[in-house]
Structure 1
């Protein structure tokens, strides 16, 4: 069957009834962490919320006042995941998140148009595509797309948009001879009902379950951002369609104004200004490293020249690295002196080095790791690694192993 969202992609609200409501779980990623939500799978008599498919993400929306977090397809039915139960048989109003839906319509129809003209103009076949959150990608079956070809393709797709070409949805029976003439990457194994054809008049006819604009003019504009190397001698073509182009232009302009303020130069000079800054930073870093190395030697010599020095030396410095610490340890006679060094934020993450006679270092190493919440290893009188927190380094200083 075709859902109401497929029969009328522009419908924003719809009244239907609840067919079933069963307990369910939804696994999703929130803030980089996977979590499982407990809720309910709801089936409706019909729906304007598109279930994920054809490379297009699912719709979001409301059933009554209950948010729909996920819509999937099971054979001829759409399953809506919600966190609150709904009464079977009750009449409900369904609302679609229109901004998300229309964005998906623009990107999906844009993909069809780009795919068709890339094939017609250059013989580049589309093998897959991804509708991303910020930009979309079409995988072309070619190892290379030249910049001139990208430009020609962009001009061609926007010419079709300006020509107000209609986009017509057809429903054909699976045995209709016309089905064999349309482009397709195959039907799902659980497909049921008529075949849905998206026909961009005079340009392309393609099997597709997704939601689409009714006229190419609704795409507004398509921007081909460029290409990147794909897998197995393929090329990924990156594009934006419709409102995403406007948002991209707005964000780019905002970034440009910020750079003008920071770099004190006009937009055309930004690249040159950043290049100069990078070279200056590299020179400063090189100079800083050289000074740190000299400082490390002076620190070690100052300790060695102190007639009242003991057999334990400890130092923390915010700036530094492993080489800085190793220079100090090398300059001090660690066969007689136990050295504990740290670099990094005073109570934050950093690096540590414990050097000295093998016995004390071997004994203290694991305790140092535990107190600094670190990871590391040691051999030959050296134990060093990374510390997740230097907050307890004072405790390490208070409990050194005596060196005979």
Structure 2
């Protein structure tokens, strides 16, 4: 699996062709009210819209002027749910919801950095993580963290960000011996194509299907209505 969104994560518009368009349903929930939407699953020759996977939610955007409401992976294909049929073989223009994507890229690369440093500094392994709308949650295999450990981890993360450490994406063939040298939870049963390795230079190499920034300096904090110095914050949960 190597879609255009994984090979060029900064690309925001893309022209491709429709491979197939089949009737489909989408289950949604808004304010506790469930609804079944009628629409179509569209498969494209390639896509810049990331299908959910690896802990990262799917992208949003448009195919021509039609909103894409969900993107999921099915084997080697990305299924785009829309409510307007498209003609197979027709050329279409994809436009990415960049604000949503960039937020996901920042959070995902930030998780890789925190996970790697928590392991290197204290031997704490990441057991799970969740990318949320307002914050990411990373669960470590330790019952607690001392205040000085939290402060040291926060300081190290910020040092790496200020050092502008590159984040490099490589694609390796299945069976390449280099794959054995990286952190991994294994490949999904329906995986096809090359294996993606996300490397934070000198810090971490991790098997991952998600989209990432190209440099740790891209992990800046957003400013909500004012300017000032900000840094990543950590909370230790008992």
TM bucket, shorter chain: over 0.9
Deviation at 1:224, TM superposition (A): 2.5
Q: Alignment RMSD, CA only?
A: 0.9
Give the structure 2 partner of residue 8 of structure 1.
Answer: 8
Give the structure 2 partner of residue 42 of structure 1.
Answer: 42
Equivalent positions of 1:5-404 (< 5 A) are 5-221=5-221, 223-229=232-238
C-alpha separation in 1, matches of 2:154 and 2:27: 39
Deviation at 1:88, TM superposition (A): 0.9
Larger RCO of the pair (alpha carbons < 8 Å, separation 6+)? 2
Larger radius of gyration: 1
Deviation at 1:78, TM superposition (A): 0.4
Structure 1 stretches lacking a partner, 5+ long: 230-404
C-alpha separation in 2, matches of 1:217 and 1:165: 7
Contact 2:3 2:47 in 1 (8 A): yes
C-alpha separation in 1, matches of 2:148 and 2:86: 55
C-alpha separation in 2, matches of 1:146 and 1:203: 23
Contact 1:150 1:224 in 2 (8 A): no
Aligned with 2:89: secondary structure?
Answer: coil
Q: Deviations over 1:301-348 (max 9, x none)?
A: xxxxxxxxxxxxxxxxxxxxxxxxxxxxxxxxxxxxxxxxxxxxxxxx
Deviation at 1:198, TM superposition (A): 0.2
C-alpha separation in 1, matches of 2:156 and 2:127: 21
Aligned with 2:37: secondary structure?
Answer: strand
Contact 2:154 2:234 in 1 (8 A): no
Deviation at 1:204, TM superposition (A): 0.2
Contact 2:144 2:237 in 1 (8 A): no
C-alpha separation in 2, matches of 1:4 and 1:114: 27
Q: Deviations over 1:268-321 (max 9, x none)?
A: xxxxxxxxxxxxxxxxxxxxxxxxxxxxxxxxxxxxxxxxxxxxxxxxxxxxxx
C-alpha separation in 1, matches of 2:181 and 2:171: 14
The count of residues paired between Structure 1 and Structure 2 equals: 229
* Structure 1 runs, 4 residues or longer, greater than 4 Å off: none
Structure 2 stretches lacking a partner, 5+ long: 222-230
Q: Deviations over 1:72-118 (max 9, x none)?
A: 00011100000111111110000100000000000000000000000
Give the structure 2 partner of residue 315 of structure 1.
Answer: none
C-alpha separation in 1, matches of 2:84 and 2:111: 36
